[in-house]
Amino acid sequence: MASTSVAPRQPPKKRDWSWRSQYVRGLVYQVVALSAIVFVVWFLAHNTLLNMRTRGIQSGFDFLFGPAGFDIGEMLINYDALDPYWKAFLVGVLNTLRVAIIGIVITTLIGTLVGIGRFARNAIVRGLCYGYVELFRNVPILLQLLMWYLLFTEVLPATYEAWSIADLFFLSKGGVAVPAPVWGLGQGLAVIGAVVGLVVAYLYRQWARKRFEATGNALPTVLPSVAIVLVVSFVGWLLGGAPTAWNIPKQAEVMVEGGMIATPEFLAVLFGLVMYTAAFVAEVVRAGIQSVAHGQVEAASSLGLSRGQSMRLVILPQALRVIIPPMTNQYLNLTKNSSLAVAIGYPDVVSISNTAINQTGRAVECIAIIMLVYLTTSLLTSAFMGWYNKRAAIKER
């Protein structure tokens, strides 16, 4: 019986810390470059503060704790003119996030549908999708914001003559008023139930996908997922006492009162950003779908998959690796373009900063806050999309 010899384990190599080591040289270069950047930033900040002090210009962020002294027309949290500046900035940040998050969700839906519609068999659908893309992506975003704002403030009827649907929904120059539930324990548990339902629906979709890969039998996923979310939310609403109180808007002599009101400024910003960005997203989706080899479509058809199943189960999953990176850029553009809302009076973080600059003269500090807000939101968006891109990447076997 032949004996097998085992090669002796090699001792770990010791890192060479001499200048001849590429690792050491690279580390030194990075430390030097980082030190130079820190020095330049410190030098600019020091000279800026020194020059401001020489000219008698106050500096620092202590003004954030003083009373703001101005009202804000639209807010998601309680705010009063006597509240400090930091709370006013918080209102502006929340207004910016409100537009950005809702806009990203709606943009993704519209852009994806239009992008898929470019491949429709119906010539009218293809033509409408093509016309939408060419119209909205070639008109500057600022002009679109002004167009929507003028539409909501000039074309619609006055607030005392609002259009109504069943005396529940009102549309006028004052915005859109819709019924809103009176918030309580039941609504809170319903929201928690919706979150739990989304998790359960995600797990169900994962199980259905694995079952399809193992057996070839495709289970419906869209309707069951929606049903899971609704059922779990309904259970949470029941556990909270099943509240039925609603705040119904009513037409008063001067304006519509009650309910949940979306102002014309908010609607103009949202519509402008969504319609503009969705045109670019549609082109991203179209390019991603076209990047999938036609043989994949033929293979899906040979398996008996319908056109919709082929798009959902075969084409889109492969197209995601091409779609996600440029889609991230469009999300970042939408968030940063929301700063143009100041042109139509929407109280976002830029608008609040402009007011604070006029009252305090702390221009450097307010601009730094704006930069920090957009830098943070952009980095978080990029990090999330990078994580999703890794999950959607095709795994080689």
**Residue of 272, 264, 254 lying closest to 158 (CA atoms):** 254
Q: What pLDDT, on the 0 to 100 scale, is given for residue 199?
A: 92
Q: Nearest 5°: phi and psi at 14?
A: -80, 135
Q: What pLDDT, on a 0 to 100 scale, did the predictor assign at position 161?
A: 84
d(CA 32, CA 110): 48
- For residue 5, the 8-state DSSP code is P
Q: Give one word for 58, left, alpha or beta, with left for phi > 0 and alpha for psi -120 to 50.
A: beta
Close Cβ partners of 325 (under 8 Å, ≥ 6 residues apart): 389
- The rounded distance, in Å, linking the Cα atoms of 115 and 128 is 11
Residues in the chain, pLDDT under 70: 1-16, 393-397
* Exposure on the CB side of residue 235, measured as CA atoms within 13 A: 11
Spell out the alpha helix ranges (H) of the chain. Answer: 22-54, 85-117, 123-137, 141-150, 185-215, 222-239, 264-290, 294-302, 307-310, 316-337, 349-360, 363-392
Predicted local distance difference test score (pLDDT) of residue 7: 53
Question: What six digits make up the tokens of 377?
Answer: 């939101």
Distance CA 359, CA 368 (A): 17
Considering only CA atoms, which of 355, 350, 345 is closest in space to residue 81?
355
| Amino acid code (one letter) for 340 | L
Q: How many CA atoms lie less than 13 Å away from 356 in the CB half-sphere?
A: 32
Residue 163, CA atoms < 13 Å, CB-side half-sphere: 9
3-state SS, residue 133? helix
- Give me the pLDDT at residue 6, please: 53
Residues 237, 232: Cα–Cα separation, whole Å = 9
